[in-house]
Amino acid sequence: NTAESSEQVVIFEEKITKVNGEVTIKRYQRGKFLGKGGFAKCYEATNLETKKVQAAKIIAKSSLTKNRARQKLISEIKIHKSLQNTNIVQFEHVFEDHENVYILLELCSNQTLNELIKRRKRLTEIEVQCYVAQIINSLKYLHASNVIHRDLKLGNLFLNKSMELKLGDFGLATKLEFDGEKKRTICGTPNYIAPEVLDGKVGHSFEVDVWSLGVIIYAMLIGKPPFETPDVKTTYRKIRLNSYTFPEHVLISDAAKNIITRILNLDPVKRPTLDEIMSHPFMNTGGSIPKTLPLSTLACPPSAS
Ligand SMILES: COc1cc(C(=O)NC2CCN(C)CC2)ccc1Nc1cc2c(cn1)c(C)nn2-c1cc(Cl)cc(CCC(N)=O)c1
């Protein structure tokens, strides 16, 4: 037998029947498995006509029998499809066949900030400023579109091949239908979930994304989220008690400690707005913040060149 792997080629196709009855077929070759999340598996996919490589999130319809899962997917597609911003993963296309739903998205070949932190342990303040500026740009657009992401975390912040940050995964996002509307459903990822969401009584709004941004800034500078414990219930108690510390052995500036402390306020109305965060001393060190970072920072700190 020959040495090459016996990998079979997997093709999935979209049949389009035009109004005049004409049928056209778009074919995609499934590539490398990129990972999974929820009911979705993600692969590289090459459009065999245009040769364009995208990320294909494939959801088996057999996993969508429960109405909750089905509604969540419909909401994710409806919201993500409507968004267009340089710091939000571009929604390219969605179609289905008998077995699966296929969501074609912008490929971000440098993975997520989660892998970056695992590899680097922690980032320098200038790197954090660079990523925070891009996250705030995506959140300003999102909130102006009356959308709350509700699952902002390192694993949903992607880096494309040009090291641009792209916010992805709108599975828990929600669109507010009227000014002042408050949401109540409890959702999010334990480490990043805002106290008012846990509280469930008063309802929550855009401020939950600001809280998660505070958790992200802490995690990028320290190397792990502020309320992380091995047990979810204990994490929730620490969040409700606002119980976190800055470890002595990690040197971070007073401006960094100050912005994190202001954002991680149990009272949502006391948290700074996105504009106030941008004008805070942590984001205004006098020097200019780079638009993107060099690829070398995926492996080691930026050299003080
Ligand atoms: C080339 O582009 C990528 C490569 C990889 C990668 O190398 N993953 C390796 C695969 C092998 N295993 C062993 C380690 C991780 C991971 C992600 C890539 N790009 C990539 C992945 C992407 C997207 C854009 N671009 C979007 C949008 N959604 N998803 C998406 C969707 C799901 Cl359901 C799950 C995951 C994996 C978990 C995660 N949050 O990263 C990602």
Structural contact between residues 228 and 191, judged by C-beta atoms closer than 8 angstroms: yes
Which SS3 state, helix, strand or coil, does residue 135 take?
helix
Which pLDDT score is estimated for 227?
Answer: 97
> Which residue's alpha carbon is at the smallest distance from atom 3 of ligand 1?
109
Which pLDDT score is estimated for 286?
Answer: 86
* Residue 32 burial (C-beta neighbours within 10 Å; 0-12, 13-18, 19+): exposed
pLDDT in tens, 183-220: 888 788 889 999 999 987 788 899 999 999 999 999 99
The CB-side HSE value for 94 (13 A sphere, CA atoms) comes to 15
* Residue 208 burial (C-beta neighbours within 10 Å; 0-12, 13-18, 19+): buried
Residues contacting residue 57 through CB under 8 Å, at least 6 positions apart: 40, 41, 42, 102, 103, 105
Residue of 151, 179, 231, 254 marked catalytic: 151
State which of 34, 90, 100, 157 you would mutate to test the pocket of ligand 1, scoring each by most atoms of that ligand within 8 A of its C-beta.
34
Is 199 part of the annotated catalytic residue set? no
Residues with CB under 6 A from ligand 1: 34-37, 40, 42, 55, 57, 89, 105, 107-109, 111-112, 155, 158, 168
State which of 59, 103, 111, 138 you would mutate to test the pocket of ligand 1, scoring each by most atoms of that ligand within 8 A of its C-beta.
111
Q: Which atom of ligand 1 is nearest to the CA of 155?
A: 39
Residue 85 C-alpha to ligand 1 middle, in angstroms? Answer: 20
- Angstrom distance (rounded) from CA 234 to CA 22: 59
How many whole angstroms from its chain centre is CA 43? 17
Q: What is the ipTM metric for this complex? A: 0.97
Q: What are the structure tokens assigned to 93, written together? A: 């296309």
State which of 30, 36, 42, 114 you would mutate to test the pocket of ligand 1, scoring each by most atoms of that ligand within 8 A of its C-beta.
42
Q: Which atom of ligand 1 is nearest to the CA of 105?
A: 27
Which pLDDT score is estimated for 295?
Answer: 97
Which pLDDT score is estimated for 304?
Answer: 59
Structural contact between residues 31 and 44, judged by C-beta atoms closer than 8 angstroms: yes
- Residue 156's nearest CA partner among 143, 145, 169 is 169
- Residue 240's nearest CA partner among 231, 222, 221, 227 is 227
Low-confidence spans in the chain with pLDDT less than 50: 1
Which pLDDT score is estimated for 244?
Answer: 98
Q: Which residues does residue 148 pair with via DSSP β-bridges, in sequence order?
A: 174
Structural contact between residues 257 and 281, judged by C-beta atoms closer than 8 angstroms: no
